[in-house]
Amino acid sequence: MNANPVEFPEGFLFGGATAANQIEGAYDEDGKGLSIQDVMPQGFVGPITTGPTPENLKLEAIDFYHRYAEDIALFAKMGFRVFRFSIAWSRIFPNGDDTQPNEAGLAFYDRVLDELEKYGIEPLVTISHYETPLALAQRYNGWVSRDLIGLYERYVRVLFDRYGARVRYWLTFNEINSVLHAPFMSGAIATPPEELSPSDLYQAVHHELVASALATKIAHEMDPHIKVGCMVLAMPVYPLTPAPADVHAAMAADHANLLFGDVHVRGEYPGYALRMFRDRGIELDITARDRELLHNTVDFVSFSYYMSSCETADPAKRAAGQGNIMGGVPNPTLQASEWGWQIDPVGLRTVMNQFWDRWQKPLFIVENGLGARDRLVQVDGHPTVLDDYRIAYLNDHLVQVAEAVEDGVEVWGYTTWGCIDLVSASTAQMSKRYGFIYVDRDDDGSGTLDRYPKKSFGWYAEVIASNGRTL
C-alpha cells in the first residue's frame, strides 16, 4: 500500500500487452506466410534456421489463434480496459510484397476485435512487432531497402481500411530503437550484425521513421479520430559516477535512443544526430519527400520499461551488464532479475518526466513487467502460482506511475507485458513468464496449454476496479 494513495486519471487505460508471434502459434494456418520469428528458435541471440524447426516454440506459442475467446474472457474478468496485441504482417501479406491481402488472415483479427467489443475492451494495435514476413528479409534485406516503405504503406492501408473504424490506438513499430541492437529481429536485416555498416543500419532506421510518419499521415487522412503513437524501448541511462565525463557518456548513450522519439515528435533529425552521422562517416539518402513526410508527427509516445542502466567514459569499468536488448553497465545500487534486468521503479517516474518535459505528448506505458520462473502449486484443489514477487514489482512500478501523474505528466494508460504467459522474445522459451495467467507449456514444448489464474490475477483485478487506490 502506498503511503500517499493517488487516484489515476478517470478512464485510465489499465490492461495488458502481447505480440502475435509470442502468443498466436498457427504459424502456417489459413494462408499465413513465414515470419522472421519462424526461423529464430533461440531468440535474437541464437542462430537463424533456414526454415521452421520443431524446437521453435513460437510455431505453436500459446495457441491464442484458437483460444483467443477464452483468453479475452479472462482479461475481461480482470477488468481490462485495453488490450494491446499485434497483427502478424505475414497473415495479411504472406510474403510482404503480395499484391492482394489474405482474407483469412484479416478475418482472424475481425474475430479478435469482436470479442474485445463484447467486453468493452479498447484495442491497442501494434502494426509491426518483431515479425516481419521472412521474404522481406531474404529478398530485400529488410528495412535497409527503401522498397519496404511502399510495402509497409500497402499493409497499413489495408489495416486502416479494415479496422480503422474499430481501433482507435495504433503503434507503428514495436521498440523502434531496438534495430540498433537486434537488426534481424527488429529490422528484418539479413546482413549479419558484424558485417552491417553504420550507413546501412541508419538508412534502415531512416526508412522506418519515414514509414512510421507515412502511416501517421494516412491514418489522419482517413479518420482524424485515430491516434497513432511511436513505441520506443525506454531505458534511463545514469552516469556510473558524478565525473563529468561519465555524465556526458550517459547523455550520449541516451541520445542514441532519444533520437527516435525526437524525429517522431519534432519531425526532423536533431542536431546531435546530424553530428553523430558526420563523426561516424554515415551518409544517408534522405529525399525532399522524406523530409516532408517526417513532419507527420505522432499523437502520443508509447514505450516499454523494464530497467535502467549506467554508462561510463572509463573503458576499464565498462564491464557489460545484461539487458533488455541494449545492455549497459550494471548499476551497483540495484537488484536484478534472474536474467540480469535491473529492477528500478523510480526510473519509470524519471523517464516519464523526461519524455513529458521533452515532448509534451501524452504517454502510454505499453510494456512493463517481471520475467520470472513460476512454480505451479495447488490451492483449494486449483492449480495456481503464488507470485508475490510479480505483485511487488508491478505494485512498485504503478506507484511510480501515479507519482508521475502527480508531477503533471499526461499518461493515457498502462499495459503490463505478457499479461498471459507467452514465449519470451530474448530466450524463445516459456520459462521466463510474465503473466497473470499461467499457461501449461514447458520449454520442451510439452504441456496441456491449459490456463490457470495466478495470485496476481486477483491483485490486478482489484487495482483496476479501484482505479489504482488499492496500490
- Catalytic residue of the set 7, 367, 410, 462: 367
Between the CA of residue 170 and those of 105, 156, 239, what are the distances in Å?
18, 10, 34
Toward ligand BGP, which CB reaches closer, 8 or 64? 64
Sole residue written with cell 531496438: 178
Contacting ligand BGP (CB under 6 A), which of 58, 67, 264, 432? 432
Contacting ligand BGP (CB under 6 A), which of 371, 435, 453, 468? 371
Element of type H or E holding 171:
strand 169-171
- The interface with ligand BGP within residues 323-362 (CB under 6 A) comprises 324-325
Q: CA-to-CA distance for 70 and 74, rounded, in angstroms?
A: 7
| Nearest approach, Cβ of residue 21 and ligand BGP (Å) | 8
DSSP 13-38: EEEEE--HHHH---TTGGGPPPBGGG
Q: CA-to-CA distance for 403 and 393, rounded, in angstroms?
A: 16
Burial of 275 (0-12, 13-18, 19+ CB in 10 A): exposed
Stretch touching ligand BGP by CB under 6 A, among 102-110, 328-336, 422-430, 456-464:
422-430
Q: Cα 255 to the chain's mean position, in Å?
A: 20
- The interface with ligand BGP within residues 119-148 (CB under 6 A) comprises 130
Q: Of the candidates 367, 368, 363, 341, which has an alpha carbon nearest to the alpha carbon of residue 352?
A: 363
Stretch touching ligand BGP by CB under 6 A, among 101-109, 147-155, 423-431, 456-464:
423-431
Q: Are residues 88 and 20 in contact, defined by beta-carbon separation less than 8 angstroms? A: yes
- The interface with ligand BGP within residues 11-40 (CB under 6 A) comprises 19
Q: Of the candidates 431, 448, 432, 428, which has an alpha carbon nearest to the alpha carbon of residue 383?
A: 448
**Could you say whether residue 203 binds ligand BGP (CB under 6 A)?**
no
Burial of 154 (0-12, 13-18, 19+ CB in 10 A): middle
Toward ligand BGP, which CB reaches closer, 405 or 437? 437
| Nearest approach, Cβ of residue 212 and ligand BGP (Å) | 16
Stretch touching ligand BGP by CB under 6 A, among 4-12, 162-170, 420-428, 457-465:
420-428
Contacting ligand BGP (CB under 6 A), which of 174, 212, 297, 456? 174
Contacting ligand BGP (CB under 6 A), which of 115, 175, 262, 344? 175
| Nearest approach, Cβ of residue 408 and ligand BGP (Å) | 28
**Could you say whether residue 64 binds ligand BGP (CB under 6 A)?**
no
**Could you say whether residue 426 binds ligand BGP (CB under 6 A)?**
yes
Toward ligand BGP, which CB reaches closer, 122 or 367? 367
Beta carbons within 10 angstroms of residue 166's beta carbon: 14
Please give the grid coordinates belonging to residue 136. 522481406
Toward ligand BGP, which CB reaches closer, 124 or 293? 124
Toward ligand BGP, which CB reaches closer, 101 or 435? 435
Q: Of the candidates 367, 48, 380, 373, which has an alpha carbon nearest to the alpha carbon of residue 191?
A: 48
Q: Of the candidates 317, 306, 381, 319, which has an alpha carbon nearest to the alpha carbon of residue 347?
A: 306
| Nearest approach, Cβ of residue 45 and ligand BGP (Å) | 10
**Could you say whether residue 85 binds ligand BGP (CB under 6 A)?**
no
**Could you say whether residue 424 binds ligand BGP (CB under 6 A)?**
yes
Contacting ligand BGP (CB under 6 A), which of 201, 425, 430, 471? 425
Q: CA-to-CA distance for 463 and 471, rounded, in angstroms?
A: 7
Q: CA-to-CA distance for 260 and 287, rounded, in angstroms?
A: 18
Q: CA-to-CA distance for 377 and 388, rounded, in angstroms?
A: 13
| Nearest approach, Cβ of residue 6 and ligand BGP (Å) | 27
**Could you say whether residue 397 binds ligand BGP (CB under 6 A)?**
no
Sole residue written with cell 475481461: 76
| Nearest approach, Cβ of residue 382 and ligand BGP (Å) | 27
- The interface with ligand BGP within residues 257-316 (CB under 6 A) comprises 304
Q: Is 292 a catalytic residue?
A: no
Q: Binding residues for ligand BGP, how many (CB under 6 A)?
A: 14
Kindly list the catalytic residues. Answer: 367
Interface residues toward ligand BGP, by CB under 6 A: 19, 130, 174-175, 304, 324-325, 367, 371, 417, 424-426, 432
